[in-house]
Structure 1
Amino acid sequence: MNKILFSLILLLSLQLTAQEDLDLSYYLPQDVSYNDEIPKPQDILGYIPGEWHANHDQVVNYMNTLAEASPRIRLENRGRTFENRPLILLIITSEENQENLEEIRRQHVALTEPGSEDLDLENMPVVVNQGFSIHGNEASGTNAALLAAYYLAAAEGEEIEDLLENTVILFDPAFNPDGLQRFSYWANTNKSANINPDPQDREYSEVWPGGRTNHYWFDMNRDWLPVQLPESRVRIETFHQWYPNILTDHHEMGPNASFFFQPGIPSRTHPLTPALNQELTKEIGTYHAAALDNIGSLYYTEENFDDFYYGKGSTFPDIQGSIGILFEQGSSRGHAQETDNGILTFPFTIKNQFTAAFSTLEAAQKMRVQLLDYQRNFYRNARREAKKGAYAFGNSKDASSAYHLAEILKRHQVEVREVKEQFNVKEKTFKPGSSFIVPKDQKHHRLLEAMFEKRTQFTDSLFYDISAWSLPLAFNLDFTAGAPIKNAGQTIDSLTGPVITLPEKSRYAYLMEWHPYEAPKALNRILNQGIRAKVAMQPFRNAERTFDYGTIMIPAQNQDMDAEEIHKFLVDVAEDAHIGITAIETGLTAGVNLGSNQFRALEPQKVALLVGDGITPYDAGEVWHLFDQRYDMKITKLDLSRFSRADLSRYTDIILPNAWGNAVGEEEMKKLKEWVQNGGTLIGFKNAAQWFEKNDFMDLEFIENDVQAKNVTFEQRRDFRGAQGIGGAIFEAKQDRSHPVNFGYKDDKLALFRDTTIFVKADSTSYKNPLMYTEEPLLSGYISEENLEILPGTVPFKHNSMGRGNVILFTDNTNFRAFWYGTNKLLMNAIFFGDEM
């Protein structure tokens, strides 16, 4: 019989079998015996995995039960999610290894240090970090983890004993507890007794925002490098505790797909990744192929996905001497679904994930010495190529942003030092207290290069994710790769917040500069306390210092609180926000005086965020997270399904994130327009631009890329179209610092993250263009030549007055993935100073 035809018949028979009379023999090898004292999944869950979607509580319960029953398993609780779910890790190895686990860990980490040539690789276990379902609605991974953990705990015989003796498995059964819980509820509550594989059934279409993301709707598989989320922080801590040789990341893709394993598209591998890394990935892939061949599952490799952005779980290890591996299983998105390959059942997807998990362990064991040697040589070669000198970054007006970047580096075990004394490099000033020095000659200098690089040349024009992420640009920091190491002070073991000066008591007024990152947090507290505050529309100077545009002035008199209460409250605000507040005893200042009309009164802001069907969850979640976690500001999430009944008069500002389709209908549009005309401020992002233009909120002129396909074959058409997109790159804009949208920025240039091709023509009136892309805007990342010709001179910001209100547009994402600190203040300026625009 034709081999391909046989595989298809076998595939269909396996899927049909998975729908009826399901038992563990469908998943588990039957040529081994199992310890009867180890509880089976169904003993704790009440069902065999695949019959229902396990929720996170059930997963944790079963893993705790296994750890109590098996001496092969040690369970760690490393922290909590935003929804207070435990972030557990199972360390699985032989009982003898468990007794010497810390010594094994220390010896393994020694592979990455000087002197590693003396280590005996022949007698050293390999370390494998296996992680499942970082996207919560890609649930076959976590459900396979239930079976994999059982097998590792209960299987008996020489084969499993050899595996566990030679392998330490760092087993994370649920990378995304909050999303998994959300999705399991959906899949289970919509399951019928008679499973219906019709793709149009409600079971296969989650309600917004779906279970893919975490609590704040972040795609956590983009956070391995910036490490902004609690789930990511424990993963990175585990990684640096052990430095695993292999890290696997189990995902799902569309129902009509089969099964993918890496390597991905070779031309889209990051240049800093060693070629040997991809060769080893390919060799490991032969084990996956053999295992999937054995059960008749279709698969493919070296297509679609890539290893470029180091913020993904399967790529992050590649810059650390490890091998990252992505698995993608065609998804049933419920319990069974009709597909191009026949009926795809949930149990079948679990079986494939289980199979790949164990082909990984087989490869790790058989390639053990090879993988250990690769890791040792990675760090040995890195030490040889390490350069002298240092990086430096800082912001003399915003110590807090520099501190938050230093936080990321410390999470990655990067050596960070104090600045001993002020120095200048190419007109950039680095001061003690607001700057840091990072030596280049250190263990993780390759990771540092990946974090700090600005790259504009590429071998491929397509990327699975963003093409640029330079962290100093993201944080809007002064940066140099040529800092004198002689100016480096003590190595920082534990970061503390920026040093601030607490205000003395004043009988006249207090001044708070708007430069520090946490200034909006402080202002929000002040205004909500009922304290009157004003913003300076022009710079001024007292006897000691100059205060810039956007400085906040708090009068000491004519307040509802007395002078003593105000002082005590402002001291608390300064300590909480790590921001300096200055007492001043006279209103007679150089430039505008404190009683001038150039100080404009501010009001407490009440902000709403449009969410629901049609709104991009990532963009909405970034705004929610920014308000809730960074600035301690309340924000009301207005679901579009209930918008017609909402009382908009409660809000000063409404934010419209990026959306698709007709997310905001005609009735909602009319209601928003009336609200704006009555004094509200509507702030839109990205493709809100077209909606504003279409519905007469703004008069915008777009510039289109009309490039025509010439000498492009049918096969090349997708690559041609894809190359004209901007998947995520960094561009330079010039700023009019006197405009309220730019208050708090010390320079006249700003790096913006852009992932759209929305090009808006500048206004003929110059002062209406406070942000404009420069003539040579590309700082880092990929953009087609055609788009790069269009971008200079276009504008990423627009403001329009409408009645008594305001309409504000940002064509770019100012809050990208929670690590784009440098432009968060643009949104805050729109919130607090919109009426002054």
Structure 2
Amino acid sequence: MQRIALLLFLATTTLFSQSQTNLSYYLPQNVDYNPSIPTPQSVIGHNVGDWHITHDKLAEYMKALALASDRISIENRGKTFEDRPLLLLTITSPENHQNLETIQAEHIDATESNTANSADRPIVVYQGFSIHGNEPSGSNAALVMAYYLAAAEGSEIDDLLKHTVILFDPSLNPDGLQRFAYWANTNKNINLNPDPNDREYSEVWPGGRTNHYWFDMNRDWLPVQLPESRARIETFHNWLPNILTDHHEMGTNSSFFFQPGIPSRTHPLTPKLNQELTKGIANYHAKAFDKIGSLYYSEESFDDFYYGKGSTFPDINGSIGILFEQASSRGHIQESDNGLLTFPFTIRNQFTAALSTLDAAVNMREEILDYQYNFYKNARNEATREGNKAIVFGDEKDAAKTYHLAEILKRHRIKFHDIKSDFSLNGKNYKKGYSYIVPKNQKNTRLINAMFEKRTTFQDSLFYDVSAWTFPLAFNLDYSTTSTTNAGEQVTDLQHLKGGVNAKSEYAYLFEWNEYYSPKLLNAILKKGLRAKVSLKKFKANGKSYDYGTIMIPAKNQDMTTSQIYIFLNDLAQESYIKIDAVATGLNDGIDLGSRNFRALELPKIAILVGDGMTSYDAGEIWHLFDTRYDIIATKLDTKNFRRADLSRYNTIIMVNSSSGLNGSDTKKLKTWIQDGGTLVAYRNALRYLNSKELMKIDFKKNKLTAKNISFEERGDFRGAQVIGGAIFETQLDRSHPINFGYKNDKLALFRNTTLFINADKNSYNNPIQYTKNPLLSGYISEKNLDSISSTVPLKIGGAGRGNIIAFTDNTNFRAFWYGTNKLLMNAIFFRDEI
């Protein structure tokens, strides 16, 4: 008996000890490889799958391949926030490389003319790996795939490279990949441990999924707010690839998924043939996985609805996007429902899918090229029928928000124009320099529809991601249909409207709070030590009307001379694209500049709670907002350090969406800080914490859900249909309230993805933001939830001692492209005492 136990122990030890996985495990058999092409091991120092590849080694190997192979060229398209290169390999036959510019020009020409030339042109395939850094099997498979494409020999690879141009993106998220590789490698055992409770399989906060600022970059293909996204979107539009693959990972107990997804969850603007071709390509994946004996599935989960995802963005641009999801080992080996799941096994599956994609591309080449040609031909016909129809958008008091939406259009090669002159439409004023016109009669008319449409009816009630992203609503811009008769010159060189001070003053300076970058300007003024005040009322000075929230900087009794102040403000105004007015008197029509209705402002000293229990996406969006747009320094205060932190350093603490909040002693400390004069700004589920800990009394509207005539099989869909995955709703504003300073309209579109409903206060002045009776503007919401949200409030403000709490039910900074509600957070911070 002891002998048997010893043998079992030795067998188990051998099984879980570190093994060397050579390339033969991954590569197709009966293929010769060019010995002059370096193997991954010869450059990175280990076999693929023995360790998680770090981005620096991945980049080093890709550069080595480009030097050694005449099939590969390489370019650096920019840098991440952490200065890592955004590499792209172009892989094709040597003959195609010599003629690459002509191939590219002919490929683009086929989307703009009546000539397809499908028989003669190579198909273009963009292969992107591991946009989520802790889904690393993709980027590790990129090592094998790049080697195969560079080194394989024979008629099969020659034919493949002759008929394809492969845009090869080995790491869509270098910063996240590096972060996760560090975690997996530093927690690896010599004797691999498959126990899912081992530390190796449980990353510390925030994990490696996201980029430097903790963004999910697979939601940024349409908004294009991040440097990684901007690089790949430029490549996409330069080439308009026919197929784009996006390699991901999912739960350990799954198998392998490839698209199509659930048919009813495809966006209506996506042509039906797109999904049929996706299914045709899927047959090649199935054949390849059958050959190696790997389990897989298709059409049972995921969707193709939100165009901001990598597998869906191509679908509105005449391409075919394909999502791959591999069960994740989350380290080097882990127990699963399908047996022991090894890291090399996950890499092999990703490599197999990458190779089967190219097999499909070659064999379906003419069919897929014809699809793209007809997509744009039909789009041109649709555009022609639009005639001189156009969309105008803008904000007569905020040129910066208008600029940033136009910036997105420019990145997507959508043409837009200045307006000829100021005009009014549907009660809104469109001002030259503050507005643009987008003609519908242009190549990307379908993409324009996807970005500007408001949709409230759907085939399905379940969504993998958001159901609405209407860009002018997200930017809080006025917009309407118009005609090209109002259009001026086409904008080719997009530039910010210039700012500055109109004159030197010996008395005071004024600027309104409407412009997007006004918080950046105010913060710099206060940081310099200059006194500034905010107006609580409207007034007129020198014949000009000034709105609620106007900022006043006295020219005298400051720590700078009047000349120094003028130069300083002028420089700041230019940097912030804001116009500052000099005034020579404090006597106004309305409140005077010495009025008590001008309140002194204090420099914000901000801490953002991060770490365990806090949602990293939400925290990262605020960190990114402060750091990259407003030049505001905010301390990222980890919850594990909260107990010993000196909170007196801060006058504002931000608590983003949280799953657990703070413990008892930490809560007591936070309460004392608020009572001593601090302002807590809280979001989403943090409100439940506030209510349960009696920091703030919140009257949540109860919404009981009862299933009637719902079968056991249908229970998941029934519950899922009650989720607000992301929709847009209309609110009514009390513009006199400081939380709403800077908004020129009395209506504001809010993004919502929670079912937290708060009953309105009986006193109307305590409801500065309130949902209208019929608030749905765009997106999906169940009838029951729509009834529940009606006339509720997304904001609760309460006092505690000398401090206060400002609580939002939903994220005002969603994914960096919700410019329109960023100012709500800024108002909560800068005007906290007035609120």
TM-score, normalised with respect to structure 1:
0.97
| Aligned position for 2:147 | 150
Aligned to 2:663: 665
1:114 matches 2:113: yes
1:331 and 1:429 mapped to 2: Cα distance? 53
What's the CA shift string for 1:704-751, capped at 9, x where partnerless? 221200000111001000111100000001000000000000010000
Identify if the C-alpha distance between structure 1 residues 364 and 744 changes in structure 2 by more than 3 Å, giving closer, same or farther: same
Aligned to 2:4: none
Contact between 2:20 and 2:47, CA under 8 Å: does it hold in 1? Answer: no
- Equivalent in the alignment of 2:443: 443
- Establish whether residue 607 from structure 1 lines up as the match of residue 600 from structure 2: no
The Cα of 1:501 is off from its aligned counterpart by 4.8
Residues 345 and 211 of structure 1, relative CA distance in 2, 3 Å threshold: same
Alignment deviations for residues 622-646 of structure 1 (CA, whole Å, 9 cap, x no partner): 0100100110100000001111110
Indicate if the aligned counterparts of 1:18 and 1:26 stay in contact, CA closer than 8 A.
no
Shift in Å at residue 348 of structure 1?
Answer: 0.1
Contact 1:132 1:175 in 2 (8 A): yes
What is the deviation of 1:484? 2.2
Any conservation in 2 of the 1:608–1:653 contact (CA below 8 Å)?
yes
- Can you list the C-alpha shifts for 1:768-812, whole angstroms capped at 9, x where unaligned? 100000011000000000000111111101111111111110111
d(CA) in 1 for partners of 2:666, 2:411 = 44
- 2: distance between equivalents of 1:176 and 1:799? 39
- Secondary structure of the 1:605 match is coil
Answer yes or no: is 1:23 the counterpart of 2:22: yes
Does structure 2 retain, via aligned residues, the 8 Å contact 1:19–1:347?
no
Match of 2:482 in 1: 483
Tell me by how many angstroms 1:667 deviates.
1.1
1:18: Cα distance to partner? Answer: 11
Question: 2: distance between equivalents of 1:85 and 1:537?
Answer: 47
One-letter amino acid matched to 1:244? P
Instruction: Judge conservation of contact 2:16–2:192 (CA < 8 Å) in 1.
Output: no
Q: Could you tell me whether the CA contact under 8 Å between 1:187 and 1:334 is conserved in 2?
A: yes
- Matching residue's letter, 1:124: R
Match of 1:718 among 703, 716, 726: 716
1:335 to 325, 328, 332: 332
Q: Would the aligned equivalents of 1:652 and 1:680 in 2 still touch at CA under 8 Å?
A: yes
C-alpha separation in 1, matches of 2:424 and 2:633: 41
Matches within 5 A, 1:548-559: 548-559=547-558
* Contact kept? 2:131, 2:248, Cα under 8 Å: yes
Residues of 2 paired with 1:668 and 1:823: CA distance? 30
Among 706, 712, 718, the alignment partner of 1:708 is: 706
Contact 2:677 2:803 in 1 (8 A): yes
What is the match of residue 416 of structure 1? 416
Aligned equivalent of 1:286: 283
Equivalent residue for 2:216, pick from 215, 219, 225: 219
Equivalent residues, number: 820
Residue 738 of structure 1 corresponds to 736
Q: How far apart in 1 are the matches of 2:499 and 2:137? A: 50
In the alignment, what sits opposite 2:696? 698
Matched residue, 1:3: none
What is residue 646 of structure 1 aligned with on the other side? 645
The residue correspondences of 1:52-71 to structure 2 (distance < 5 A) are 52-71=51-70
C-alpha deviation, 1:102, in angstroms: 0.7
Q: Which amino acid aligns with 2:806?
A: I
CA contact (8 A) 2:761 2:767 kept: yes
Cα shift readout 1:457-487 (whole Å, capped 9, x = no counterpart): 001000000000000000000001x212111
State the alpha-carbon separation in 2 of the partners of residues 285 and 644 from structure 1.
54
Letter matched to residue 277 of structure 2:
L
Maintained 8 Å contact 1:455/1:780:
yes
C-alpha separation in 1, matches of 2:367 and 2:140:
31
- Alignment-derived partner of residue 88 in structure 1: 87
**Matched residue, 2:245:** 248
Are 1:500 and 1:579, in contact at CA under 8 Å, matched by a contact in 2? Answer: yes
Q: Determine if contact 1:16/1:343 at 8 Å carries over to the other structure.
A: no
| Aligned residues of 1:422 and 1:429 also touching (Cα < 8 A) | yes
Structure 2 partner of 1:623 = 622
Provide the residue aligned with 1:197 in structure 2.
Answer: 194
Write out per-residue CA displacement over residues 384-421 of structure 1, whole angstroms, 9 at most, x where no aligned residue.
Answer: 01112100100001111000000000000000110111
Per-residue deviation, residues 676-715 of structure 1 (Å, max 9, x unmatched): 0111000000111111111122111111221200000111
State how far apart, in whole Å, the 2-side matches of 1:16 and 1:276 are: 47
- Match of 1:805? 803
Q: Mind listing any 5+ residue stretches in structure 1 that lack a counterpart? A: 1-12
Aligned to 1:528: 527
Hey, what's the Cα distance between the residues in 1 that align with 2:500 and 2:211? 38
Answer yes or no: is the 8 Å Cα contact 2:393–2:477 preserved in 1: yes
Which stretches in structure 2 are left out of the alignment for 5+ residues? 1-11
- Cα distance in 2 between the residues matched to 1:572 and 1:16: 67
Residue 16 (structure 1) shift: 7.2
CA distance in 1, matches of 2:538, 2:306: 42
- Are the counterparts in 1 of residues 245 and 322 from structure 2 also a CA contact under 8 Å? yes
- Contact in 2 for aligned 1:204/1:333 (Cα 8 Å): yes
Determine if contact 2:18/2:190 at 8 Å carries over to the other structure: no
Residues 111-132 of structure 1, C-alpha deviation per residue, up to 9 Å, x if partnerless?
11023x2x42111000000000
2:395 match: 395
Distance across 1 between alignment mates of 2:372 and 2:807: 48
Partner Cα distance (2:300, 2:827) in 1: 44
Matched residues, percent identical? Answer: 64
Q: Deviations over 1:660-680 (max 9, x none)?
A: 1x2311111011100001110
User: Which residue is 1:165 aligned to?
Assistant: 162
- Secondary structure of the 2:248 match is strand
State the distance in 1 between where 2:541 and 2:526 align: 25
Q: Distance in 2 between matches of 1:705 and 1:415?
A: 46
Taking structure 2 as the reference length, the TM-score comes to 0.97
Which of the residues 679, 682, 686 maps onto 1:681? 679
Question: Which residues in structure 2 correspond to 1:754-833 (within 5 Å)?
Answer: 754-833=752-831
Cα contact 1:18–1:347 (8 A) shared by 2: no
Q: Distance in 2 between matches of 1:132 and 1:21?
A: 24
Who is 1:7 aligned against? none
Q: Residues of 2 paired with 1:788 and 1:120: CA distance?
A: 51
Two-structure CA RMSD over aligned residues (Å): 1.2
Secondary structure of 1:210 counterpart: coil
Contact kept, 8 Å, 1:503 with 1:567, in 2: the verdict is no
Which secondary structure state, in structure 1, belongs to the residue aligned with residue 751 of structure 2?
Answer: strand
Distance in 2 of aligned mates of 1:105 and 1:734: 50
Q: Residues 243, 224 of structure 1: CA spacing in aligned structure 2 closer, same or farther, 3 A cutoff? A: same
Which AA in structure 2 matches 1:185? Y
* 1:698 and 1:807 in contact (8 A); partners too: yes
Q: 2:183 aligns with which of 178, 181, 186?
A: 186
Q: Is the 8 A contact 1:759 1:791 kept in 2?
A: yes
CA contact (8 A) 1:18 1:345 kept: no
In the TM superposition, what are the counterparts of 1:573-584 in structure 2 within 5 Å?
Answer: 573-584=572-583
